[in-house]
Structure 1
Amino acid sequence: MIRAVVFDLDDTLISEKKYIKSGYQYISKILSARYDKDAQELYQLLFKLFNESPHNVFNRILDKMGISYTKNDILEMVEEYRDHLPDIEFFDDVLPCLKELKKKNIKIGVITDGYATAQRQKLKVIKATNFFDEIIVTDELGREYWKPHPKAFEMMKEKLNVEFNEMIYVGDNPEKDFYISSIYPTETIRIYRDGVYRDRKYLYNIKENHSIHCLSELKLILEQERIHSSCGEISKI
Protein backbone atom coordinates (compact mmCIF):
# COMPACT_ATOMS: atom_id res chain seq x y z
CA MET A 1 0.00 0.00 0.00
CA ILE A 2 1.32 3.46 -0.88
CA ARG A 3 1.85 5.60 2.23
CA ALA A 4 4.05 8.35 0.77
CA VAL A 5 4.41 10.27 -2.48
CA VAL A 6 7.68 12.13 -3.06
CA PHE A 7 8.08 14.72 -5.80
CA ASP A 8 10.89 16.20 -7.81
CA LEU A 9 10.71 20.02 -7.90
CA ASP A 10 11.79 21.54 -11.23
CA ASP A 11 9.40 20.83 -14.12
CA THR A 12 7.39 18.56 -11.82
CA LEU A 13 5.94 21.07 -9.35
CA ILE A 14 7.21 24.33 -10.86
CA SER A 15 8.33 25.49 -14.29
CA GLU A 16 12.10 25.58 -14.75
CA LYS A 17 11.63 27.78 -17.82
CA LYS A 18 9.71 30.32 -15.75
CA TYR A 19 12.50 30.25 -13.17
CA ILE A 20 15.11 30.87 -15.88
CA LYS A 21 13.07 33.75 -17.30
CA SER A 22 12.77 35.25 -13.82
CA GLY A 23 16.53 34.99 -13.32
CA TYR A 24 17.28 36.55 -16.68
CA GLN A 25 14.91 39.43 -15.99
CA TYR A 26 16.75 40.02 -12.73
CA ILE A 27 20.18 39.90 -14.37
CA SER A 28 19.06 42.13 -17.26
CA LYS A 29 18.14 44.86 -14.76
CA ILE A 30 21.57 44.61 -13.15
CA LEU A 31 23.30 44.82 -16.54
CA SER A 32 21.03 47.67 -17.60
CA ALA A 33 21.98 49.76 -14.57
CA ARG A 34 25.66 48.87 -14.88
CA TYR A 35 26.12 49.48 -18.60
CA ASP A 36 23.28 51.89 -19.42
CA LYS A 37 21.51 49.45 -21.76
CA ASP A 38 17.80 48.74 -22.26
CA ALA A 39 16.76 46.05 -19.76
CA GLN A 40 14.09 44.51 -22.00
CA GLU A 41 16.49 44.20 -24.92
CA LEU A 42 19.07 42.57 -22.64
CA TYR A 43 16.44 40.14 -21.35
CA GLN A 44 15.43 39.16 -24.89
CA LEU A 45 19.07 38.67 -25.83
CA LEU A 46 19.73 36.51 -22.76
CA PHE A 47 16.83 34.24 -23.60
CA LYS A 48 17.80 34.09 -27.27
CA LEU A 49 21.31 32.99 -26.27
CA PHE A 50 19.85 30.41 -23.85
CA ASN A 51 17.65 28.94 -26.58
CA GLU A 52 20.71 28.62 -28.82
CA SER A 53 22.65 26.91 -26.02
CA PRO A 54 22.22 26.90 -22.22
CA HIS A 55 25.99 26.99 -21.70
CA ASN A 56 27.99 30.12 -20.73
CA VAL A 57 25.06 32.47 -21.39
CA PHE A 58 26.49 35.25 -19.22
CA ASN A 59 29.89 35.07 -20.93
CA ARG A 60 28.23 35.20 -24.31
CA ILE A 61 26.00 38.19 -23.60
CA LEU A 62 28.99 40.21 -22.40
CA ASP A 63 30.85 39.15 -25.55
CA LYS A 64 27.87 40.35 -27.62
CA MET A 65 27.92 43.65 -25.75
CA GLY A 66 31.65 44.02 -26.40
CA ILE A 67 32.41 44.18 -22.69
CA SER A 68 35.60 42.69 -21.28
CA TYR A 69 35.21 40.66 -18.10
CA THR A 70 37.00 38.39 -15.66
CA LYS A 71 36.09 34.99 -14.28
CA ASN A 72 35.03 36.70 -11.05
CA ASP A 73 32.63 38.94 -12.98
CA ILE A 74 30.86 35.83 -14.33
CA LEU A 75 30.86 34.12 -10.94
CA GLU A 76 29.24 37.20 -9.40
CA MET A 77 26.50 37.16 -12.05
CA VAL A 78 25.89 33.46 -11.45
CA GLU A 79 25.64 34.10 -7.71
CA GLU A 80 23.19 36.97 -8.30
CA TYR A 81 21.11 34.67 -10.52
CA ARG A 82 20.99 31.88 -7.94
CA ASP A 83 20.34 34.23 -5.02
CA HIS A 84 17.44 36.10 -6.60
CA LEU A 85 13.92 35.53 -5.28
CA PRO A 86 12.19 34.11 -8.35
CA ASP A 87 8.79 34.99 -9.79
CA ILE A 88 7.39 31.44 -9.88
CA GLU A 89 4.43 29.45 -8.61
CA PHE A 90 3.18 25.86 -8.53
CA PHE A 91 1.73 24.42 -11.71
CA ASP A 92 -2.07 24.61 -11.57
CA ASP A 93 -2.49 20.89 -10.86
CA VAL A 94 -0.15 20.80 -7.84
CA LEU A 95 -2.17 22.18 -4.92
CA PRO A 96 -5.33 20.15 -5.73
CA CYS A 97 -3.14 17.04 -5.86
CA LEU A 98 -1.43 17.79 -2.54
CA LYS A 99 -4.81 18.47 -0.92
CA GLU A 100 -6.10 15.11 -2.16
CA LEU A 101 -3.05 13.29 -0.83
CA LYS A 102 -3.45 14.94 2.57
CA LYS A 103 -7.10 13.86 2.68
CA LYS A 104 -5.94 10.28 2.16
CA ASN A 105 -3.33 10.64 4.95
CA ILE A 106 -0.54 10.06 2.47
CA LYS A 107 2.74 11.64 3.47
CA ILE A 108 4.34 13.93 0.90
CA GLY A 109 7.93 15.00 0.34
CA VAL A 110 10.32 16.64 -2.10
CA ILE A 111 13.73 15.50 -3.30
CA THR A 112 15.39 18.08 -5.51
CA ASP A 113 18.77 18.53 -7.15
CA GLY A 114 20.25 21.88 -8.09
CA TYR A 115 22.44 24.38 -6.29
CA ALA A 116 21.21 24.69 -2.72
CA THR A 117 20.86 28.49 -2.66
CA ALA A 118 18.72 28.54 -5.80
CA GLN A 119 16.58 25.59 -4.71
CA ARG A 120 15.96 27.09 -1.29
CA GLN A 121 14.87 30.37 -2.87
CA LYS A 122 12.40 28.50 -5.08
CA LEU A 123 11.07 26.54 -2.10
CA LYS A 124 10.74 29.77 -0.10
CA VAL A 125 8.66 31.50 -2.78
CA ILE A 126 6.19 28.64 -3.14
CA LYS A 127 6.03 28.25 0.67
CA ALA A 128 6.89 24.59 0.31
CA THR A 129 7.23 23.95 4.04
CA ASN A 130 3.48 24.64 4.36
CA PHE A 131 2.64 21.71 2.08
CA PHE A 132 5.30 19.01 2.41
CA ASP A 133 6.18 16.79 5.35
CA GLU A 134 9.86 16.56 4.39
CA ILE A 135 12.11 18.34 1.89
CA ILE A 136 15.60 17.21 0.87
CA VAL A 137 17.86 19.44 -1.20
CA THR A 138 20.53 17.00 -2.34
CA ASP A 139 23.17 19.70 -2.83
CA GLU A 140 23.14 20.21 0.95
CA LEU A 141 24.31 16.61 1.31
CA GLY A 142 27.11 17.12 -1.24
CA ARG A 143 27.27 17.33 -5.03
CA GLU A 144 28.04 13.62 -5.21
CA TYR A 145 24.62 12.87 -3.69
CA TRP A 146 22.55 14.48 -6.44
CA LYS A 147 20.20 12.02 -8.13
CA PRO A 148 20.49 9.29 -9.26
CA HIS A 149 22.42 8.59 -6.03
CA PRO A 150 20.03 6.77 -3.65
CA LYS A 151 21.08 8.58 -0.43
CA ALA A 152 18.26 11.15 -0.52
CA PHE A 153 15.71 8.38 -1.04
CA GLU A 154 17.16 6.42 1.86
CA MET A 155 16.91 9.52 4.05
CA MET A 156 13.36 10.25 2.89
CA LYS A 157 12.28 6.71 3.72
CA GLU A 158 13.52 7.18 7.28
CA LYS A 159 12.12 10.70 7.66
CA LEU A 160 8.65 9.63 6.49
CA ASN A 161 8.86 6.31 8.36
CA VAL A 162 7.78 4.19 5.40
CA GLU A 163 9.21 1.26 3.45
CA PHE A 164 10.61 1.68 -0.05
CA ASN A 165 7.68 -0.25 -1.53
CA GLU A 166 5.27 2.12 0.22
CA MET A 167 6.75 5.16 -1.51
CA ILE A 168 6.24 6.53 -5.04
CA TYR A 169 8.53 9.09 -6.67
CA VAL A 170 7.16 11.53 -9.24
CA GLY A 171 9.65 13.24 -11.57
CA ASP A 172 10.23 14.41 -15.11
CA ASN A 173 13.90 13.84 -15.94
CA PRO A 174 14.70 10.51 -17.69
CA GLU A 175 18.37 10.98 -16.91
CA LYS A 176 18.05 10.60 -13.15
CA ASP A 177 14.51 10.46 -11.73
CA PHE A 178 13.62 6.83 -12.38
CA TYR A 179 16.86 4.95 -11.73
CA ILE A 180 15.94 4.51 -8.05
CA SER A 181 13.51 1.73 -9.02
CA SER A 182 16.48 -0.40 -10.10
CA ILE A 183 18.00 -0.09 -6.61
CA TYR A 184 14.97 -0.22 -4.31
CA PRO A 185 11.35 -1.37 -4.80
CA THR A 186 10.12 2.21 -5.13
CA GLU A 187 7.76 2.81 -8.04
CA THR A 188 8.27 5.86 -10.20
CA ILE A 189 5.98 8.10 -12.20
CA ARG A 190 7.05 10.33 -15.07
CA ILE A 191 5.04 13.49 -15.54
CA TYR A 192 5.29 14.97 -19.01
CA ARG A 193 5.63 18.75 -18.85
CA ASP A 194 7.07 21.12 -21.43
CA GLY A 195 10.27 20.85 -19.44
CA VAL A 196 13.92 21.67 -19.96
CA TYR A 197 15.01 18.04 -19.52
CA ARG A 198 12.22 16.22 -21.36
CA ASP A 199 14.50 15.07 -24.20
CA ARG A 200 17.22 13.57 -22.03
CA LYS A 201 17.96 9.86 -22.45
CA TYR A 202 17.04 7.31 -19.81
CA LEU A 203 19.92 6.34 -17.54
CA TYR A 204 20.78 2.71 -18.37
CA ASN A 205 17.38 2.60 -20.07
CA ILE A 206 15.64 2.43 -16.67
CA LYS A 207 12.16 3.79 -17.34
CA GLU A 208 9.28 4.90 -15.15
CA ASN A 209 6.61 2.47 -13.93
CA HIS A 210 3.82 4.87 -14.86
CA SER A 211 3.47 8.04 -16.93
CA ILE A 212 1.03 10.93 -16.59
CA HIS A 213 0.44 14.34 -18.13
CA CYS A 214 -1.33 15.92 -15.18
CA LEU A 215 -1.09 15.31 -11.44
CA SER A 216 -4.82 14.67 -11.31
CA GLU A 217 -4.00 11.31 -12.92
CA LEU A 218 -2.03 10.33 -9.81
CA LYS A 219 -5.30 9.54 -8.03
CA LEU A 220 -6.05 6.66 -10.43
CA ILE A 221 -2.57 5.17 -10.04
CA LEU A 222 -2.83 5.24 -6.26
CA GLU A 223 -6.23 3.57 -6.44
CA GLN A 224 -4.79 0.83 -8.66
CA GLU A 225 -1.92 0.36 -6.21
CA ARG A 226 -4.40 0.10 -3.33
CA ILE A 227 -6.43 -2.56 -5.14
CA HIS A 228 -3.29 -4.46 -6.10
CA SER A 229 -2.08 -4.34 -2.49
CA SER A 230 -5.45 -5.54 -1.18
CA CYS A 231 -5.48 -8.43 -3.63
CA GLY A 232 -2.00 -9.38 -2.53
CA GLU A 233 -3.10 -9.50 1.10
CA ILE A 234 -6.17 -11.59 0.26
CA SER A 235 -4.05 -14.10 -1.67
CA LYS A 236 -1.94 -14.68 1.45
CA ILE A 237 -4.95 -15.68 3.55
Structure 2
Amino acid sequence: MIKAVIFDLDDTLISEREYIESGYKHIASLLNTQGMGKQEDLHNMLINLFEESPINVFNRLFESLNHSYTTSDIRNLVNEYRNHIPTINFFDDVISCLNELKKKGFKLGIITDGYASSQKAKLISLSASSYFNEIIVTDELGREYWKPHQKSFEIIREKLQVDYEEMIYIGDNPEKDFYISNIYPIKTIRINRQGVYRNREYMNGIREHYAINDLDSFLMLLDNWD
Protein backbone atom coordinates (compact mmCIF):
# COMPACT_ATOMS: atom_id res chain seq x y z
CA MET A 1 0.00 0.00 0.00
CA ILE A 2 1.40 3.38 -1.03
CA LYS A 3 1.62 5.87 1.82
CA ALA A 4 4.09 8.50 0.57
CA VAL A 5 4.62 10.30 -2.73
CA ILE A 6 8.01 11.94 -3.20
CA PHE A 7 8.72 14.36 -6.03
CA ASP A 8 11.75 15.68 -7.81
CA LEU A 9 11.57 19.47 -8.20
CA ASP A 10 13.09 20.76 -11.45
CA ASP A 11 11.07 19.88 -14.56
CA THR A 12 8.81 17.74 -12.39
CA LEU A 13 7.01 20.33 -10.26
CA ILE A 14 8.45 23.47 -11.86
CA SER A 15 9.96 24.46 -15.18
CA GLU A 16 13.75 24.64 -15.07
CA ARG A 17 13.57 26.86 -18.14
CA GLU A 18 11.34 29.32 -16.25
CA TYR A 19 13.90 29.42 -13.45
CA ILE A 20 16.76 30.02 -15.91
CA GLU A 21 14.88 32.88 -17.55
CA SER A 22 14.16 34.39 -14.13
CA GLY A 23 17.85 34.20 -13.26
CA TYR A 24 18.91 35.82 -16.51
CA LYS A 25 16.36 38.57 -16.03
CA HIS A 26 17.93 39.27 -12.63
CA ILE A 27 21.44 39.33 -14.12
CA ALA A 28 20.30 41.57 -16.99
CA SER A 29 18.86 44.02 -14.46
CA LEU A 30 22.14 44.11 -12.55
CA LEU A 31 24.21 44.66 -15.67
CA ASN A 32 21.80 47.34 -16.84
CA THR A 33 22.42 49.32 -13.65
CA GLN A 34 26.14 49.01 -14.40
CA GLY A 35 25.63 50.66 -17.79
CA MET A 36 26.27 47.58 -19.90
CA GLY A 37 23.13 47.85 -21.99
CA LYS A 38 19.35 47.76 -21.98
CA GLN A 39 17.88 45.12 -19.68
CA GLU A 40 15.70 43.56 -22.37
CA ASP A 41 18.59 43.33 -24.82
CA LEU A 42 20.88 41.78 -22.21
CA HIS A 43 18.20 39.29 -21.21
CA ASN A 44 17.67 38.23 -24.82
CA MET A 45 21.41 37.86 -25.34
CA LEU A 46 21.69 35.61 -22.28
CA ILE A 47 18.82 33.41 -23.45
CA ASN A 48 20.29 33.13 -26.96
CA LEU A 49 23.74 32.28 -25.59
CA PHE A 50 22.21 29.63 -23.32
CA GLU A 51 20.34 28.08 -26.24
CA GLU A 52 23.60 27.86 -28.17
CA SER A 53 25.29 26.23 -25.17
CA PRO A 54 24.72 26.33 -21.39
CA ILE A 55 28.50 26.47 -20.81
CA ASN A 56 30.14 29.73 -19.63
CA VAL A 57 27.17 31.90 -20.58
CA PHE A 58 28.32 34.91 -18.56
CA ASN A 59 31.86 34.77 -19.97
CA ARG A 60 30.47 34.63 -23.48
CA LEU A 61 28.12 37.53 -22.78
CA PHE A 62 31.03 39.77 -21.78
CA GLU A 63 32.95 38.64 -24.85
CA SER A 64 29.95 39.36 -27.11
CA LEU A 65 29.81 42.85 -25.64
CA ASN A 66 33.59 43.29 -26.03
CA HIS A 67 33.69 43.97 -22.31
CA SER A 68 36.71 42.92 -20.27
CA TYR A 69 36.05 40.81 -17.19
CA THR A 70 37.78 38.98 -14.37
CA THR A 71 37.20 35.65 -12.68
CA SER A 72 35.76 37.61 -9.78
CA ASP A 73 33.21 39.27 -12.10
CA ILE A 74 31.99 35.88 -13.28
CA ARG A 75 31.92 34.47 -9.76
CA ASN A 76 29.81 37.41 -8.58
CA LEU A 77 27.29 36.91 -11.38
CA VAL A 78 27.06 33.19 -10.65
CA ASN A 79 26.39 33.94 -6.98
CA GLU A 80 23.74 36.51 -7.91
CA TYR A 81 22.10 33.99 -10.23
CA ARG A 82 22.07 31.19 -7.67
CA ASN A 83 20.88 33.32 -4.77
CA HIS A 84 18.17 35.38 -6.44
CA ILE A 85 14.60 34.67 -5.36
CA PRO A 86 13.11 33.55 -8.66
CA THR A 87 9.81 34.40 -10.25
CA ILE A 88 8.53 30.86 -10.82
CA ASN A 89 5.34 28.88 -10.39
CA PHE A 90 4.35 25.26 -10.05
CA PHE A 91 3.18 23.62 -13.25
CA ASP A 92 -0.59 24.03 -13.70
CA ASP A 93 -1.39 20.48 -12.57
CA VAL A 94 0.68 20.50 -9.38
CA ILE A 95 -1.43 22.23 -6.72
CA SER A 96 -4.61 20.31 -7.53
CA CYS A 97 -2.64 17.05 -7.42
CA LEU A 98 -1.02 17.88 -4.08
CA ASN A 99 -4.36 18.87 -2.57
CA GLU A 100 -5.94 15.63 -3.75
CA LEU A 101 -3.07 13.55 -2.37
CA LYS A 102 -3.24 15.33 0.98
CA LYS A 103 -7.00 14.84 1.11
CA LYS A 104 -6.45 11.11 0.62
CA GLY A 105 -3.93 11.01 3.44
CA PHE A 106 -0.68 10.57 1.53
CA LYS A 107 2.54 11.94 2.99
CA LEU A 108 4.32 14.25 0.56
CA GLY A 109 8.00 15.00 0.07
CA ILE A 110 10.58 16.50 -2.26
CA ILE A 111 14.10 15.28 -2.98
CA THR A 112 15.98 17.72 -5.17
CA ASP A 113 19.52 18.08 -6.43
CA GLY A 114 21.17 21.36 -7.34
CA TYR A 115 23.15 23.97 -5.48
CA ALA A 116 21.58 24.46 -2.07
CA SER A 117 21.25 28.23 -2.37
CA SER A 118 19.41 27.95 -5.70
CA GLN A 119 17.10 25.15 -4.59
CA LYS A 120 16.23 26.85 -1.31
CA ALA A 121 15.46 30.10 -3.16
CA LYS A 122 13.11 28.18 -5.47
CA LEU A 123 11.40 26.52 -2.51
CA ILE A 124 10.95 29.88 -0.75
CA SER A 125 9.46 31.44 -3.88
CA LEU A 126 6.98 28.54 -4.16
CA SER A 127 6.10 28.47 -0.43
CA ALA A 128 6.79 24.76 -0.83
CA SER A 129 6.97 24.04 2.89
CA SER A 130 3.21 24.63 3.14
CA TYR A 131 2.53 21.73 0.79
CA PHE A 132 5.10 19.08 1.74
CA ASN A 133 5.77 17.11 4.91
CA GLU A 134 9.50 16.81 4.23
CA ILE A 135 11.90 18.45 1.77
CA ILE A 136 15.48 17.31 1.22
CA VAL A 137 17.97 19.42 -0.72
CA THR A 138 20.68 16.86 -1.35
CA ASP A 139 23.41 19.49 -1.64
CA GLU A 140 22.96 20.20 2.07
CA LEU A 141 24.03 16.60 2.73
CA GLY A 142 27.08 16.99 0.49
CA ARG A 143 27.73 16.99 -3.24
CA GLU A 144 28.53 13.28 -3.09
CA TYR A 145 24.96 12.61 -1.93
CA TRP A 146 23.20 14.04 -4.97
CA LYS A 147 21.03 11.50 -6.76
CA PRO A 148 21.41 8.71 -7.69
CA HIS A 149 22.92 8.22 -4.20
CA GLN A 150 20.38 6.61 -1.91
CA LYS A 151 21.06 8.62 1.26
CA SER A 152 18.28 11.19 0.72
CA PHE A 153 15.77 8.38 0.20
CA GLU A 154 16.90 6.73 3.41
CA ILE A 155 16.47 9.99 5.30
CA ILE A 156 13.04 10.81 3.92
CA ARG A 157 11.80 7.26 4.52
CA GLU A 158 12.77 7.58 8.17
CA LYS A 159 11.29 11.07 8.53
CA LEU A 160 7.99 10.05 6.95
CA GLN A 161 7.96 6.76 8.88
CA VAL A 162 7.11 4.57 5.90
CA ASP A 163 8.66 1.51 4.30
CA TYR A 164 10.38 1.66 0.91
CA GLU A 165 7.58 -0.45 -0.58
CA GLU A 166 5.16 2.28 0.49
CA MET A 167 6.96 5.04 -1.44
CA ILE A 168 6.59 6.40 -4.97
CA TYR A 169 9.19 8.70 -6.49
CA ILE A 170 8.22 10.92 -9.42
CA GLY A 171 11.00 12.50 -11.49
CA ASP A 172 11.99 13.41 -15.02
CA ASN A 173 15.72 12.76 -15.41
CA PRO A 174 16.65 9.30 -16.78
CA GLU A 175 20.25 9.77 -15.67
CA LYS A 176 19.54 9.75 -11.95
CA ASP A 177 15.87 9.73 -10.91
CA PHE A 178 15.01 6.06 -11.38
CA TYR A 179 18.13 4.19 -10.34
CA ILE A 180 16.90 4.13 -6.74
CA SER A 181 14.60 1.22 -7.64
CA ASN A 182 17.74 -0.86 -8.20
CA ILE A 183 18.71 -0.24 -4.57
CA TYR A 184 15.40 -0.15 -2.71
CA PRO A 185 11.89 -1.35 -3.69
CA ILE A 186 10.64 2.16 -4.38
CA LYS A 187 8.23 2.52 -7.28
CA THR A 188 9.39 5.15 -9.78
CA ILE A 189 7.42 7.23 -12.24
CA ARG A 190 8.80 9.35 -15.06
CA ILE A 191 6.87 12.49 -15.93
CA ASN A 192 7.44 13.87 -19.40
CA ARG A 193 7.63 17.64 -19.07
CA GLN A 194 9.88 18.14 -22.13
CA GLY A 195 12.49 19.40 -19.68
CA VAL A 196 16.15 20.19 -20.15
CA TYR A 197 17.28 16.69 -19.07
CA ARG A 198 14.80 14.63 -21.08
CA ASN A 199 17.40 13.29 -23.52
CA ARG A 200 19.81 11.95 -20.92
CA GLU A 201 20.64 8.24 -20.94
CA TYR A 202 19.24 5.89 -18.30
CA MET A 203 21.82 5.05 -15.64
CA ASN A 204 22.81 1.40 -16.12
CA GLY A 205 19.64 0.97 -18.15
CA ILE A 206 17.41 1.23 -15.05
CA ARG A 207 14.08 2.56 -16.23
CA GLU A 208 10.99 3.87 -14.46
CA HIS A 209 8.13 1.55 -13.55
CA TYR A 210 5.55 3.86 -15.12
CA ALA A 211 5.58 6.87 -17.45
CA ILE A 212 3.06 9.73 -17.46
CA ASN A 213 2.60 13.05 -19.22
CA ASP A 214 1.03 14.98 -16.36
CA LEU A 215 -0.02 14.66 -12.73
CA ASP A 216 -3.67 14.20 -13.60
CA SER A 217 -2.57 10.94 -15.22
CA PHE A 218 -0.71 10.07 -12.03
CA LEU A 219 -3.87 10.46 -9.95
CA MET A 220 -5.70 8.13 -12.33
CA LEU A 221 -2.85 5.63 -12.09
CA LEU A 222 -2.92 5.83 -8.31
CA ASP A 223 -6.66 5.15 -8.22
CA ASN A 224 -6.03 1.86 -10.00
CA TRP A 225 -2.87 0.94 -8.08
CA ASP A 226 -2.65 -2.72 -7.13
User: TM > 0.5 between the two?
Assistant: yes
Aligned counterpart, 1:155: 155
Is 1:100 paired with 2:100?
yes
The Cα shift of 1:192 comes to 0.3
- Structure 1 stretches of 4+ moved >2 Å: none
Aligned equivalents of 1:78, 1:186: Cα separation in 2: 36
User: Which consecutive unaligned segments of at least 5 residues does structure 1 have?
Assistant: 229-237
Shift of 1:95: 0.5
Between the aligned partners of 1:19 and 1:195, the Cα distance in structure 2 is: 12
> Cα offset for 1:35?
2.9
For 1:58, the equivalent position in structure 2 comes to 58
Report whether the alignment pairs 1:12 with 2:12: yes
Distance 1:139 1:185 in 2: 24
SS in 1 for 2:224: helix
Q: What is the SS of the residue equivalent to 1:170? A: strand
The root-mean-square deviation of aligned C-alpha atoms, in Å, is 0.8
Residue 220 of structure 1 and its aligned partner are, at CA, apart by 2.4
Q: How does 1:134-213 map to 2 (within 5 A)?
A: 134-213=134-213
- Which position in structure 1 is the counterpart of 2:74? 74
CA drift of 1:106 comes to 0.5
- Cα drift, residue 223 of structure 1: 2.4
Give the number of equivalent residue pairs.
226
SS in 2 for 1:188: strand
Higher helix content, 1 or 2: 1
Q: Do residues 49 (structure 1) and 73 (structure 2) align?
A: no
AA of the residue aligned to 2:139? D
| TM score, norm. by length of structure 1 | 0.94
Post-superposition shift, 1:224?
2.8
Letter in 2 for 1:220: M
TM normalised by structure 2 equals: 0.98
Name the amino acid aligned to 1:193: R
1:32 maps onto 2:32 in alignment: yes
Sequence identity percentage = 56
